[in-house]
Amino acid sequence: MSLSKLAFQNLKNIRQNVMYLGAVTFAILIYYTFLAIRSNEAMLQANELYGKLGTVFTGASVILALFSAIFIWYSSDFFLRRRKKEIGLYALLGLERGQIARLIFLETMGYGVIGLILGIAIGTVASKYFVQLLASVMAMQVDATFTISGASVLQTIGVFLLIFLIIALRSARTIYRFTLIELFKAEQQAESLPKVHPILAVLSVVLIGVGYYLTGQPLMDHFTIVAPLLMLCVILGTFGTMSYFTIFLLRVLSNQARHFKGTNLILHGQLLSRIKSNAVMLSTITVITAVTLTTVGTATSIYYFIDQTVEEQVPYSLSIASKQSEAEQLIAKSDQKIDSRTMVNVKNVDHQMTDLPNPLTFTRYYATYAYEDQPGQFSYVNYSDYVKLAKANGKTVIKEPKQGEAIVLETFKGNDLLKMKIKSPVGVEIKDVHESFRITAATNLPIAQLYEKQRLAFVVNDDTFAKMPEKGFTLTNYQFSDERHDDGLMKQLTQLYGKQADTEMAAYYPVYTMTTATTGLLAFAAGFLGLVFLLATGSIIYFKMLAEAEESKQRFAIIQKIGVDEKEQTGIIRRLVGFVFSLPYVLGLVHSLVAMQVLQKLLNYNIVRPTLLAIVCYTIVYLIYYIVTVRAYRRIVT
Amino acid sequence: MKAILQAEQISKTYQTKTARHEALRPTTLRVHEGEFVSIMGPSGAGKSTLLNLLSTIDQPTDGSILINGADVTAMKEKQLARFRREQLGFIFQDFNLLDTMTVRENIALPLSLANVDKKMILERVDRVARQLGIYDLLDKRPVELSGGQKQRTAAARAIIHDPSLILADEPTGALDSKSATGLLEAMQSLNNEGATILMVTHDPMTASYAERILFVKDGELFKEVHRFGSQKEFFEQIMEVQRELGGAVRELV
Ligand SMILES: Nc1ncnc2c1ncn2[C@@H]1O[C@H](COP(=O)(O)OP(=O)(O)OP(=O)(O)O)[C@@H](O)[C@H]1O
Ligand SMILES: [Mg+2]
């Protein structure tokens, strides 16, 4: 029989290798689906933004390809180990090692080709549903159909043939290096006992601690230095913890009285013998878990709060600074009704920005929103207008400031500098070019949503306002009956204002659609990657544990003979697998919780709920993997 | 004398898809407390089959086995496992030590499974290890040991929990003659201190350490030989029976 025939014969023996083929197909399926979503015609036509955001997808697809490579690497390793004995038999039957290596090479490529066909076929179906899901998170109307994208198919084939080529070469090389005796002793000798390095163990944990501590520091100021340093600390600490601290911990456990209780002896021995070769995998998975949870947590949080964010940035359906009657004519002709109209008189007054009193120094940031040639201005509104605004926004009305007093209005909720930087500016004196005010209260109320017109605003009583010599101008804020819908009004308004459309008007609708689409796409990409990472990390542990099970068959046969019953064996397996699953899960979770703590501060939302959702999903899938792995392990060793 | 092991009319038939094979015909045998019994016979005679039945690793097709008064043929898997680890000690041809544990931990395993106190475990391990001359090896791992040292470790594990019966399948099979002698002498001294031992072997030299030998042929007990006088005389006697056995085989052909 020729080699290729033998290889083909082995390929047909699919039942035995269904796990491997499944893994390969899965990786290809994900990759192709992702590419297919990205190049989906319907999506590209429906939203030009979608095309522009392609970079998000391109970046993600590179990560996916790398990930697939690692993933297939691990699963093929398991596949090879499992077949060591069979390969040994070929050698005994007189096949040369070179021939066997070629056989393995052909087989690996064969599985690659089958995986490609299956993956692309299933991917074509899957991508349709993913496109629909994506369209719905982006709030778009898209009719997704089954389409095969030629470019995506080619790219998938190219990338994966390369991956398989590398892996097939590596497998062939491994075979080539095995000696006959090694092939027959499919069970490897236990690795030598790992040395304990207590100092490195403690140092690793300390490194993580330092990383955590750094997140509590004012990040914004030295972000470019602190952030990489912090990441480095945490990543190094993680690798150290998995390599040294776990050994340290197990050795400490071995010195306890509990070591000699029941099956603990067997468990600790098994764990210790594997920990060295598992350390890199466990740390990698920890880091991936942390990144995934953080990314998914962040993306879901942002998406979850999208309405709130837009509402805060653009509280009115429309704000305009001029051409009021023309604009209202247009609105009247459209199918929108004006629910409310709030007009505010504003006077911009020059301020000496250089010697602002301490709690207000942050307001220099506000000046950056102004034109370069008009820095150092604050806005003033009178109390009557303030009352109208407060009522229109459903805020409690603060009582009127007296002569020489002012209420400060924080106008950008999203930035919320007021809350972050200072407790309260109340009691502080501010001075403009004419007079000075003592701040009696602070509240959050946008006077309009026109960035160009916005300054930090002060409310003074009507008399004081009237006496101010600056020329006033009127800002009009509208609330429409249905601001999330547009029948062309936005376009007409933009035409009306022409060149001044950016400075004289600001509407809710374009911001809303744009933000929803962007964050929806981001959330989708993050969710998709998160799901893939989750499945891949779970599968990597799964395969690694099964490879371990194959090598531990003999040990379980021994303890069975000595009189460890099935229930106790299952107990050992549960704890064994549980240890390997929970280490990266717990540490990764803690990492991401710390990271999200920072995020919470930056976003200034309570992100507990979306984060919890992400964590719960993650945990459930992980648990399922755990159960499946325990079962498969048990099936192999008993 | 009290019978530790009492097998009544046990038999084993292997049923494969194509054929039935009666590996062990109905056999009755008894081992008394403090005895050192050996089972001998040509390859394929059913020695391992018999030992596997007696050691509860396999179930007989028919018949009953009482060990220390308990009917092991009526027990469920869980009970059996418990029974094995409390009442029996095993020495296998291929040692069956766990390579992930130290010699001390390997020996301690049966006591650990019985949830004996750590201090007590360590004391017992030390004592047994001294007895078998492996005290200096306690912190090594099985890979670092020679075959003879491994088998003495296995022997230590087999006796650490004072089992009612020690079962050994070709314990010297993988050992050179010097290590084999060392192990057998150790087993003999264990026996002198009261341990009951049942050992399967096809090596007359090994068998001559026992005080009684059961010969198995074609799945049946063929002959029983008791030791009188010196070990050398016993050895000669064994050789004699083997010739007889071999002849019987030739007659059959
Ligand atoms: N699992 C099995 N299925 C079918 N037949 C079996 C099985 N195990 C053993 N046999 C058969 O039972 C008979 C006795 O086997 P056993 O292993 O007991 O021999 P033995 O006396 O230990 O031989 P040896 O000295 O070679 O180890 C043999 O003919 C063998 O082929
Ligand atoms: Mg045998």
Of B15, B22, B48, best ligand 1 pocket probe by most atoms within 8 Å of the beta carbon = B48
Q: Which residues of B fall within a CB distance of 8 Å from A549? A: none
Distance from the A200 Cα atom to the nearest Cα atom in chain B, whole angstroms: 24
Q: Is the CB of B43 under 6 A from ligand 1?
A: yes
- Quick: pLDDT tens for A114-148: 999 999 999 988 888 888 888 888 777 777 777 78
Q: B22 alpha carbon to ligand 1 midpoint, in Å?
A: 10
Question: What pLDDT is stored for residue A504 in this prediction?
Answer: 81
Higher pLDDT, A603 or B231: B231
In chain B, residues with a C-beta closer than 8 Å to the C-beta of A264 are: 112
- pLDDT for position A413: 46
Between A556 and A491, where is the model more confident? A556
Could you say which ligand is closest to the alpha carbon of residue B42? 1
- Pairwise pLDDT comparison (A541 vs B246), residue with the higher score: A541
- How far, in Å, from the CA of B110 to the mean position of ligand 1? 29
CA distance B125 to chain A (A): 12
To 10 degrees, the CA torsion angle through A533, A539, A545, A549? -170
- DSSP summary character for residue A433: S
The confidence band for A355, taking pLDDT boundaries of 50, 70 and 90, is: low
Record the tokens describing residue A123, joined without a space. Answer: 């991917």
Return the higher-pLDDT residue of A590 and A44: A590
Q: Between chains, do A265 and B143 touch, taking CB under 8 Å as contact?
A: no
Q: What is the pLDDT of residue B107?
A: 94
* Mean pLDDT of the A160-164 span: 91
pLDDT in tens, A489-527: 888 888 888 887 777 888 888 888 888 888 888 888 888
B8 to chain A, closest Cα gap in Å: 23
Ligand 1 pocket check for B100: Cβ under 6 Å? no
| Ligand 1 neighbourhood includes B47 CB (under 6 angstroms) | yes
Query: A564 versus A98: which is more confidently predicted?
Result: A564
- Candidates B13, B28, B89, B93; CA nearest to B58 is B13
User: What is the chain B residue with the closest CA to A191?
Assistant: B100
Q: pLDDT tens digit string along A444-469?
A: 777 777 766 566 788 888 888 888 88
- For residues A275-286, average pLDDT: 88
- Ligand 1 pocket test: which of B10, B21, B22 has the largest number of ligand atoms within 8 Å of its C-beta? B21
Give residue A365's pLDDT: 57
Q: Summarize the confidence of residues A365-394 as an average pLDDT.
A: 72
- pLDDT(A576) > 70: yes
Task: Indicate which residue's Cα is closest to atom 4 of ligand 1.
Answer: B14
| pLDDT for res A51 | 66
CA A542 to chain centre: 23
Contacts of A551 in chain B (CB under 8 A): none
* Mutate which of B13, B14, B55, B172 for ligand 1 pocket (most atoms within 8 A of beta carbon): B14
Contacts of B92 in chain A (CB under 8 A): 561
Q: Shortest CB distance from B78 goes to which of A189, A193, A567?
A: A567
Is A368 a residue whose pLDDT tops 90?
no
Verify whether ligand 1 is closer than 6 Å to residue B168 (CB atom).
no
For the CA of B54, the nearest ligand: 1
Q: How far is A262 from chain B (nearest CA, A)?
A: 4
Spell out the domains of chain B, with CATH numbers in brackets.
3-96+167-252 (3.40.50.300)
DSSP chain B: --EEEEEEEEEEEEE-SS-EEEEEEEEEEEEETT-EEEEE--TTSSHHHHHHHHTTSS--SEEEEEETTEEGGG--HHHHHHHHHHHEEEE-TT----TTS-HHHHHHHHHHHTT--HHHHHHHHHHHHHHTT-GGGTTS-GGGS-HHHHHHHHHHHHHTT--SEEEEESTTTTS-HHHHHHHHHHHHHHHHTT--EEEE-S-HHHHTTSSEEEEEETTEEEEEEE--S-HHHHHHHHHHHHHHHHHHHHHH-
Is A259 close to B88, i.e. CB distance below 8 A?
Answer: no
- Amino acid type, B239: M
Position A350 scores a pLDDT of 76
Alpha-carbon distance A520 to nearest alpha carbon in chain B (angstroms): 51
Return the residue in B101, B117, B123, B126 with the most chain A beta carbons within 10 A, the one to mutate for interface testing: B101
Specify the residue for token string 């095969």: A148
The radius of gyration of chain A from alpha carbons, rounded to an integer in Å, stands at 32
Q: B46 CB less than 6 Å from ligand 1?
A: yes
A433 touches chain B (CB under 8 A): no
* pLDDT at residue B252 in the model: 41
**Whether A558 and B98 lie within 8 Å, measured CB to CB:** yes
Average pLDDT over residues A8-13: 66
Q: Which ligand is closest in space to the CA of residue B169?
A: 2
| Highest mean pLDDT of the ranges A355-364, A419-428, A452-461 | A452-461
User: What pLDDT is stored for residue A415 in this prediction?
Assistant: 46
A565 touching chain B per CB within 8 A: yes
State whether residue A88 is helix, strand or coil.
helix
Stretch 246-275 of chain A: residues touching chain B, C-beta under 8 Å: 257, 259-266, 269-270, 272-273
Low-confidence ranges of chain B (pLDDT < 50): 249-253
**Range A423-446 average pLDDT:** 74
Q: How do residues A42-69 score in pLDDT, each as one tens digit?
A: 777 766 666 666 677 777 788 888 888 8
Average pLDDT over residues A467-486: 86
pLDDT score for A414: 42
Q: Which two tokens stand for residue A162?
A: 């390369």
Q: Give residue A219's pLDDT.
A: 57
Least CB–CB distance from B108: residue in A192, A260, A565: A260
pLDDT at A353 (0 to 100): 63
Q: How far is B216 from chain A (nearest CA, A)?
A: 24
Which residue CA neighbors atom 18 of ligand 1 most closely?
A: B46
- Of A265, A563, A568, nearest to B101 by CB-CB distance is A265
Element containing residue A473 per DSSP (H, E): strand A473-480
Query: Is it the case that residue A7 has pLDDT exceeding 70?
Result: no
Q: Specify the pTM.
A: 0.79
A4 vs B124, which has greater pLDDT?
A: B124
Identify the nearest ligand to the CA of B47 by its number.
Answer: 1
pLDDT at residue A356 in the model = 65
pLDDT digits (tens, 9 = 90+) for B39-77: 998 888 899 899 999 988 888 999 999 999 899 999 988
pLDDT at A188 over 60: no
Mean pLDDT of chain A: 81
Cβ of residue B54 lying under 6 Å from some atom of ligand 1? no
Report domain extents, chain A.
1-185, 338-480
Pick the atom of ligand 1 nearest to B42's CA: 25
- For residue B205, give both structure tokens: 């030299």
pLDDT of residue A369: 45
**pLDDT tens string A227-269:** 788 889 999 999 999 999 999 988 888 888 888 888 888 998 8
Q: Considering only CA atoms, which of A507, A508, A511, A498 is closest in space to residue A323?
A: A498
User: What's the whole-number mean pLDDT along residues A203-226?
Assistant: 80
